[in-house]
Amino acid sequence: MSQHVLVTGGFGYLGSILCGYLLEEGYRVTVVDRLLWNQNGPFHLCANPNFDFVKGDVRDEKLMARLVNAADIIIPLAAVVGASACDSDPFLAESTNFDAIRLINKLRSPSQPVIYPNTNSGYGITTGDVFCTEETPLEPISIYGKTKVQAEQELLNSPNTMSLRLATVFGMSPRMRLDLLVNHFVYTALFDGYIVLFEHHFKRNYIHVRDVARAFVHSVKNFEAMKGRPYNAGLDLANLSKGELAEKVKEYLPKFHIVHSEIGQDPDKRNYVVSNQRLRDAGFEAIHTLEQGIPELIKGYRMMARSTFKNA
């Protein structure tokens, strides 16, 4: 019988893509998700006999004890994601991003593999000139970064775990997010036509959501060789400043007007470039480029209906 993967938060931005990849590879998949954002699930997965869905909260110990006990592999995606979302509800962030991970770690057998998605925002504020590796000290600056780093440390101090430190993700997904930097820049360019950038020289690394899904599948397949360590997961050709990213978007939307403001500060102070060499040495490399992702986003946004609070 094929291995059974439990994906918490599986109807979120990453999970709604990852679950399809896992099913295509022949795994059985159970998703637990509280549907906090009232999102539509990827209904097309329901026809697959290897797929199941449970509506529930990952902080519910009784529920999670049952689901964890039935799983061969655990991928805990459920989280309050992003600095602003965590700042708006710190209790929800702490209890979901850290306490729920600690609960899973308590409930699982030491032999059950856990593949955890951290964020490379844990590297915090650096000069942006020196590549961050997995040995670079983690110095998160937000509730989001701090809770994710705490959860990673909880797991990596336990047997049969590993983590993927994800770059800023981009690309279309059934549960779309417009707050992610590439996604936001393209949306703003298409519908507003201009953007004001604070601290435009601040750098980040990027990765397509489908490459994230591929990285998780690769980690499942190669878990024994990869376990016990964190891995940066990003696109090597996409260590770009915010200004460079905006110019890249402008190549596809030439009327996009970019204003570099010297007054004001970016509330998200992350500034780093990242090396993904360790993950490449483990046999995985991201393949979906910004040059592919930006036109994808433009097409996707043109398909979106007007929002609840817009008349036009």
223-256 tens-digit pLDDT: 999 999 999 999 988 899 999 999 999 999 999 9
The predicted model scores a pTM of: 0.94
Which residues, 6 or more positions from 231, have their beta carbon under 8 angstroms from its beta carbon? 134, 162, 163, 164, 165, 219, 276, 278, 279, 282
Considering the domain delimited by 4-170+206-235+274-287, tell me its CATH architecture.
3-Layer(aba) Sandwich (3.40)
Could you tell me the residue ranges of all domains in the chain?
A: 4-170+206-235+274-287
Q: For helices 209-221 and 15-24, what crossing angle results, to 10°? A: 50
- CB-based contact 256:304 (threshold 8 Å): no
* pLDDT band (50, 70, 90) for residue 265: low
Rounded Cα distance, 171 and 157, in Å: 33
294-311 tens-digit pLDDT: 999 999 999 987 777 676
Q: Label each residue of the chain as H, E or C.
A: CCCEEEEECCCCCCHHHHHHHHHHCCCEEEEEECCCCCCCCCHHHHHCCCEEEEECCCCCHHHHHHHHHCCCEEEECCCCCCHHHHHHCHHHHHHHHHHHHHHHHHHCCCCCCEEEEEEHHHHCECCCCCEECCCCCCCCCCHHHHHHHHHHHHHHCCCCEEEEEECEEECCCCCCCCCCHHHHHHHHHHHCCEEEEECCCCEEEEEEHHHHHHHHHHHHHCHHHHCCCEEEECCCCCEEEHHHHHHHHHCCCCCCEEEEECCCCCCCCCECEECCHHHHHCCCCCCCCHHHHHHHHHHHHHCCCCCCCCCC
- Average pLDDT over the chain, rounded to an integer: 93
- Predicted local confidence at residue 16, as pLDDT: 95
Rounded Cα distance, 232 and 278, in Å: 7
